[in-house]
Every structure is written in structure tokens, then in C-alpha cells.
Structure 1
Amino acid sequence: MANKVTKTIQVFIKESQTIMELSQIIQQYDSEILLKKNVNGSVIEANLKSFLGLINLRLHDGDEVIVECIGEDAEQALGEVESFLQPKD
């Protein structure tokens, strides 16, 4: 049975980071990785393995998002996404 983990995080993206980098980093995971963001009362959901989906989310510093990972490596995938969106300086 596949694991499912969900976490709400606040986005802190450095100017040097790009969504393309995040997309490339998470391709190594088998899990389905979804990002959900509330935009003007509507929840927008994107598969993080879809570059177009990432662009449509238009992530900005301070955004609050829900990361949902489903699969055998869900915990590791969530950790990777969290590390990217909340980098430690």
C-alpha cells in the first residue's frame, strides 16, 4: 500500500532558485507529488512533475502551500520539496 503524507508549508524562494530546478530534482521520486495553493478562494492544484503545472501556480515568497506526496518514497519526496521551498541558509 502506498504511503500518503501531507504538509502545509510557507514558501521562501531565493532569487537564485528556479521552478525548473525543483521539477528536475523531484523527477527521481516515484511518488505522485502535488502542490495545492489557495488563490482568491479557489484551490489550484498542480502535479510537481509537470513543469506547466508549476508555472501556473506562480509561487511567491510567503505563499502558503499544501504539499501532498503519494507513493512508496512519499516521505523522502516531501522532505526534498520542503528543503527546496524552505532553504536553510
Structure 2
Amino acid sequence: MEKNSTRKIIVDISDNVTIVEVSKATQKYESEIYLMKNVNGSIHEINLKSFLGLITLQLRNGDQLTVRTVGEDCEEALADVVQYLCQS
């Protein structure tokens, strides 16, 4: 069974960081990285490595997300994503 990690966070991105930078920074991981967000009662899940998915999700500070990583380096990938998305 593949390793996985999950954490609920509240987005708090500084003005200096774009979500595209977050996506680029996570390309080094073998793990798949997913962001889940409740939008008007509907759960949307995107792959963080997908630019189109990121545009669709429209992240804003204060958004509540679930970050889920799946793969051998899932703990490292999760820690990196949380650091980017909760850094102010």
C-alpha cells in the first residue's frame, strides 16, 4: 500500500508568493499532491502540480483546505506545501 499523509490548513500566503511558485516548487517530489476545498457545499480536489487545477481552485487567504499527499516522499511533500501555504 502506498504511503499517504493528510493535513487540514488555513491558507495564509504572503504577497511575495504565488500559487504557481508553490506548484513549481513541488515538482521535485515523486508523490502526488492534492488540495481539497469546499466551494459552495461541493468538494473540489485538484492536483497541485496541475496549473489548470490551481486556476480552477482560486485559492485565497483564509480558505480552509485539506492537503493530501500520496507516495514515498509524502511526508516531505506535505511539510513543504504547508510551509508555502501557511507562511505569513
Measured against the shorter chain, the TM-score band is over 0.9
Q: TM-score, normalised by structure 1?
A: 0.95
What residue ranges of structure 1 are gaps of 5+ in the alignment? none
Q: Which residue identity lines up with residue 69 of structure 2 in the other structure?
A: C
Q: Which residue identity lines up with residue 58 of structure 1 in the other structure?
A: Q
SS of 1:46 mapped into structure 2: strand
Root-mean-square deviation over aligned CA pairs: 0.9
- Is 1:85 the equivalent of 2:61? no
Match of 2:6 in 1: 6
SS of 1:44 mapped into structure 2: strand
Q: Which residue identity lines up with residue 8 of structure 1 in the other structure?
A: K
Runs of 4+ in structure 1 off by over 4 angstroms are none
Q: TM-score, normalised by structure 2?
A: 0.96
**Number of residue-to-residue matches in the alignment:** 88
What residue ranges of structure 2 are gaps of 5+ in the alignment? none
SS of 1:33 mapped into structure 2: strand
